[in-house]
Amino acid sequence: MSSTERPAEVADAAPQGDAQGLLFDGDFSPVPSDLGFRGPVACSAAGITYRQLDYWARTGLVVPEVRGASGSGSQRLYSFRDILILKVIKRLLDAGISLQQIRTAIEHLRVRGVEDITQVTLMSDGVSVFECTSDDEVIDLLRGGQGVFGIALGSVWRDIEGTLAALPAERTVVEETPASASDELARRRRARAAG
């Protein structure tokens, strides 16, 4: 992924009220770390087919963070961030970006923290993908004739949040069940036999 040369700190951007929504500002909910979403839910939220999801998981483009497939009949569980990345991939594909360029862009995004990702706008000229973290970078890219379209990841975040709110999720934290009476008796027998 290419990036314009800018300082590491993100400049405060003025809120934009146009149809594209906010590019860089926003109050984002914390990522639900205890929820996982099955493949069909991830497909629905990202607007992709299950075949695409399966191919991308098998080739390592998007590996489920919560739980991978571990044999026949097992279900992958995708995190909120996984689904965000799936949606970004879908939008880049729809814009005509090659899967090779998308792999490069996604690998770069993986390095970023989840909160940091909301400050990124991906711009493209149809061939290359550029990362912008401020309004000035977007303007510079457009002035240079490089940017044709952009994807504000904060906007995708909100879209995914709204979609997933209405879809089923699974808790990833398994609550411990109290030991049954027979388990307690078995433990006591073993302890007595051991000495």
70 is a domain residue:
yes
What is the domain range of residue 160? 32-113+153-174
pLDDT band at residue 8 using 50, 70 and 90 as cut-offs: very low
Q: Is residue 80 part of a domain?
A: yes
Q: Is residue 107 part of a domain?
A: yes
Q: Is residue 3 part of a domain?
A: no
Q: Please tell me the pTM assigned to this model.
A: 0.60
Where helices occur in the chain by DSSP H, the ranges are 39-46, 50-58, 80-94, 99-111, 114-117, 135-143, 153-165, 181-194
* Residue 164 falls inside a structural domain: yes
41 in any annotated domain: yes
Number of domains forming the structure of the chain: 1
Map residue 3 onto helix, strand or coil.
Answer: strand
Residue 187 CA to residue 155 CA, distance in Å, equals 54
pLDDT at 182: 62
Answer whether residue 147 is part of any domain: no
Burial 18-47 (b: 16+ CB within 10 A, else e): eeeebbbeeeeeeeeeebbbbbebbbbbbe
pLDDT at residue 179 tops 70: no
Label residue 2 by pLDDT band (50, 70, 90). Answer: very low
List the CATH number of the domain containing 86: 1.10.1660.10
Contact 126, 96 (CB under 8 A): yes
pLDDT digits (tens, 9 = 90+) for 100-148: 888 888 887 777 655 566 677 777 777 777 777 778 888 887 777 765 6
Phi, psi of 121 (to 5 degrees): -120, 125
Would residue 20 count as lying in a domain? no
Closest CA to 117 of 127, 101, 105, 125: 105
